[in-house]
Amino acid sequence: MSRAALTHPVDGRFGAFGGQYVPETLMSALQELEDMWHEAKADPQFQLELAGHRRAFIGRPTPLYAATRLGDHFGGAHIHFKREDLCHTGAHKLNNAVGQALLALRMGKRRIIAETGAGQHGVAAATVCARFGLDCTVYMGTEDMRRQSMNVRRMKLLGAEVVEVKSGTRTLKDATTEAIRDWVTNVRTTHYIIGSVVGPHPYPEMVRDLQRVIGDEAREQYLSLDGKLPDVVVACVGGGSNAIGMFTAFLDDRDVALVGVEAAGKGIRTGSHAASLVGGRPGVLHGTYSYVLQDGDGQILPTHSISAGLDYPGVGPEHAFLREIERVEYVAVTDRDALAAFKLCTGLEGIMPALEPAHAIHHAGVIARELGPGGRILLCLSGRGDKDMDSIPTKSEADGVTTREPLEVDGG
């Protein structure tokens, strides 16, 4: 199957997945957005403007980095990071937010709403609103506001209104629900910048197209090293935008294995996790049909991950499709292993990853030991970890006692 067949939805669907499960009041807005996006993609002036913002505002292209000490630790494999943590605002989220802000201006909509979990998409949305003079409202769950307090301050300093969501699990799912309610009420004047490859069509396609700059750059950069491609490409998966952005460029390269890493939380068997593809089944959530975490009656289950950005009970429909056709392997990594990888990468490379890609770093180590010396791994380092300082437990906090003693975990 060609890359074109894999990555272009038919009637808003990737195989059986995707679609538009939304109130009738949103259908005209979705059609307007789809028409505007396809018009903009074909407009050389829009593409030049987007390229200029990528270069001068986001800081693209981001570099590849050879994580040699980490590779040596895992048995001699060659591990390279695609450094999305070096984007302005500290994560890949700005790639999407800039593009959607330009579309909002093109549609004449001056008010932006967004949802956020880890806060990085909220910061990105607030950043582009400040840059282009747009009003910004960000919905964020109480629990995520607690563990990502620094990003809440950043959003407010950028001029955004941050609306605290106290319902449900008080995390990303509930923030998304409230943002959709706002959009239904204010659809004529408001554009909703969805932060991942989730939601109703055309969002999964559009966000992927805006994020694929990650993989397109990385593929060209990796080939320039010595004319070869990696054996494996690895990325963390919550909603799935950094992973789709990376994977899309390699879908036709059948010798390149693709691995998405979800959040196993306290363990899949405990039920306290956020691994929709590993531990869920098909269903509808937030306007799209994909894999979700649900009970026998179809009610969405609560999730858990130490990483706020992965703490979501669904996943983008294209990921569901790639799982079904077995082009991408999806695995899950626990909180404890992600914390170990966070500490290991920070100590060995002087790079503090966000807790989201720390899940991928742990599994990259598993793959590295399987491949042995000379194995070639490319990993999307989707964000930096200073936002996660309040989520890194001390050793005795893990035992229920508060102290400043650092957590000691096995780096393997």
Catalytic residues: 93, 115, 382
Return the exposure string of 89-126: e unless at least 16 CB atoms fall within 10 Å of the residue's CB, then b: bbbbbbbbbbbbbbbbeeeebebbbbbbbbbbbbbbbb
Residue type at 345 in one-letter notation: C
Instruction: Determine how β-strand 288-292 pairs with β-strand 281-285.
Output: antiparallel
How far is residue 399 from each of residues 143, 146, 305, measured CA to CA in Å? Answer: 21, 21, 18
Count of beta carbons in the 10 Å neighbourhood of residue 253: 14
At 217, list the tokens.
């750059």
Q: DSSP secondary structure string, 86-117?
A: GSTTSBTHHHHHHHHHHHHHHHT--EEEEEES
Distance, CA of 75 to CA of 257 (rounded, Å): 19
Residue in this structure with the two tokens 């695995």, named with its chain if needed: 331
Positive or negative torsion for Cα 362, 364, 368, 370: positive
Count of beta carbons in the 10 Å neighbourhood of residue 384: 21
Strand partners, 380: 82
- 207, 342 contact by CB (below 8 A): no
Give Cβ neighbours of residue 236 (< 8 Å, ≥ 6 apart).
242, 243, 260, 261, 262, 263, 310, 356, 357, 359, 360, 380, 382
Instruction: Determine how β-strand 78-83 pairs with β-strand 64-66.
Output: antiparallel
Distance, CA of 375 to CA of 393 (rounded, Å): 33
Considering only CA atoms, which of 406, 309, 408 is closest in space to residue 354?
309
